[in-house]
């Protein structure tokens, strides 16, 4: 796939070559488009299912508890500017933890999820409304005060269809919030092919502040601001990237926490290193945030009205 899947330009260049995927040992390149600035995984597998093990993001109780705590803080920040609870749509809502927090704050909530298995928890255990499939399942009405796409856009095969769909479903004064990795971050540039958030082919696209602006404007949206406030994912990204660089193994610690990597010498080594690297990782994450080159961007945007 030499031409850019976003803008179709044939002016692209491989910025990282021969990245090996850990489950299948398949080789991927990361190509950057000169025209729109978006980078992408090449080649793109026809079927991505084999690259998503059953436990993908299926963290244990303690990690889930921690993530939920961070979700709570984040959602408080997002909802603060609304005088009263509104209506929120989360694209790629997973088991529905975020929507559950919104609902407890009095918001009306709807989720969209690609995996029926994952959606089942949200639907059956939490009793949330979740559609399984694409954005066209959601009526095209300007009814959402907030649409959230949290650590999901980099995984989807067609981000522009989703973003255009969001632009048409937001209220005129509504806000889209997207969390995505930043391939121009300090972390990505330092770690190169060891960057923990690279993760091809689960990640199909890699954005920068500039390329997110390009793609959003192509889809009828204008950026309000970009924040680098994902302290937990940013620090963990540093930790895992540093361990990757030292050991030459890829994301062993993260995979162990997901229950995908069995307990082994590699895991013990990663744990021992993390003991020494956790504080430097937190400090580096703060440096990234202060210099506006954090590894995760929170992009806030509004729809362009004709
Ligand atoms: Zn392009």
- DSSP secondary structure, 70-129, as one string: HHHHHHHHHHTT-SS--EEEEET-TT-HHHHHHHHTT-EEEEEES-HHHHHIIIIIS---
Give CA–CA dist 114/179, Å, rounded: 18
Question: Cα of 264 to ligand 1 centre, how many Å?
Answer: 42
> What pLDDT score was predicted for residue 1?
66
Residues with CB under 5 A from ligand 1 (ion): 4, 6-7, 9, 33, 35-36
CA of residue 60 to ligand 1 center, whole Å: 38
For residue 97, the CA-to-ligand 1 centroid distance in Å is 34
CA of 9 relative to ligand 1 center, distance in Å: 5
* Ligand 1 center from residue 168 Cα (angstroms): 23
Cα-to-centroid distance, 143 and ligand 1 (Å): 31
C-alpha of residue 202 to centroid of ligand 1, in Å: 20
Give residue 305 CA to ligand 1 midpoint distance, Å: 24
70: Cα within 13 Å, side-chain hemisphere? 12
pLDDT by residue for the chain (306 residues), tens only, comes to 679 999 999 999 999 887 777 777 788 999 999 999 999 999 998 888 888 776 666 666 777 788 888 889 999 999 998 999 999 999 999 999 999 999 999 999 999 999 898 899 999 999 999 999 999 999 999 999 999 999 999 999 999 999 999 999 999 999 999 999 999 999 999 999 999 999 999 999 999 999 999 999 999 999 999 999 888 899 999 999 999 999 988 888 888 887 778 888 989 999 999 999 999 999 999 999 999 999 999 999 999 986
What's the CA-to-centroid distance between 8 and ligand 1, angstroms? 6
Give the distance (Å) from ligand 1 centre to CA of residue 34: 7
Going from the Cα of 215 to the center of ligand 1, the distance in angstroms, rounded, reads: 9
Q: In whole angstroms, what is the distance from residue 162 CA to residue 139 CA?
A: 13
CA of residue 214 to ligand 1 center, whole Å: 9
Q: 259 CA distance to ligand 1 centroid (A)?
A: 36
pLDDT at 185: 97
Measured in Å, residue 40 CA sits from the centre of ligand 1 at 9
Say how far residue 114 (Cα) sits from the centre of its chain. 14
Gap from CA of 266 to ligand 1 centroid (Å): 38
């Amino acid at each position: 796939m030499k031409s850019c899947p976003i803008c179709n330009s044939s002016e692209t260049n491989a910025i990282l070559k021969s990245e090996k995927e850990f489950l299948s040992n398949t080789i991927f390149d990361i190509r950057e488009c000169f025209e729109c600035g978006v980078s992408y995984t090449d080649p793109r597998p026809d079927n991505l299912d084999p690259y998503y093990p059953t436990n993908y993001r299926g963290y244990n109780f303690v990690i889930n508890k921690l993530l939920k705590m961070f979700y709570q803080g984040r959602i408080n920040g997002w909802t603060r500017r609304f005088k009263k609870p509104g209506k929120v749509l989360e694209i790629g809502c997973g088991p529905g933890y975020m929507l559950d927090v919104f609902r407890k704050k009095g918001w009306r909530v709807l989720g969209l999820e690609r995996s029926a298995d994952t959606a089942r928890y949200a639907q059956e255990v939490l009793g949330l409304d979740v559609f399984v499939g694409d954005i066209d399942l959601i009526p095209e009405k300007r009814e959402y005060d907030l649409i959230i796409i949290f650590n999901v856009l980099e995984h989807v095969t067609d981000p522009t269809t989703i973003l255009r769909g969001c632009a048409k479903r937001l209220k005129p004064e509504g806000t889209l919030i997207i969390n995505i990795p930043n391939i121009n971050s300090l972390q990505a540039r330092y770690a190169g092919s060891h960057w923990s958030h690279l993760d091809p082919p689960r990640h199909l696209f890699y954005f920068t502040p500039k390329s997110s602006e390009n793609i959003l404007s192509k889809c009828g949206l204008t950026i309000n601001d970009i924040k680098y406030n994902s302290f937990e994912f940013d620090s963990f990204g540093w930790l895992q990237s540093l361990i990757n660089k030292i050991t030459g193994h890829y994301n062993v610690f993260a995979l162990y926490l997901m229950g995908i990597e069995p307990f082994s010498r590699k895991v013990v080594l990663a744990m021992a290193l993390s003991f020494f690297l956790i504080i430097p990782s937190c400090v580096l994450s703060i440096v990234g945030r202060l210099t506006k080159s954090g590894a995760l961007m929170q992009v806030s945007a509004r729809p362009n009205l004709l």
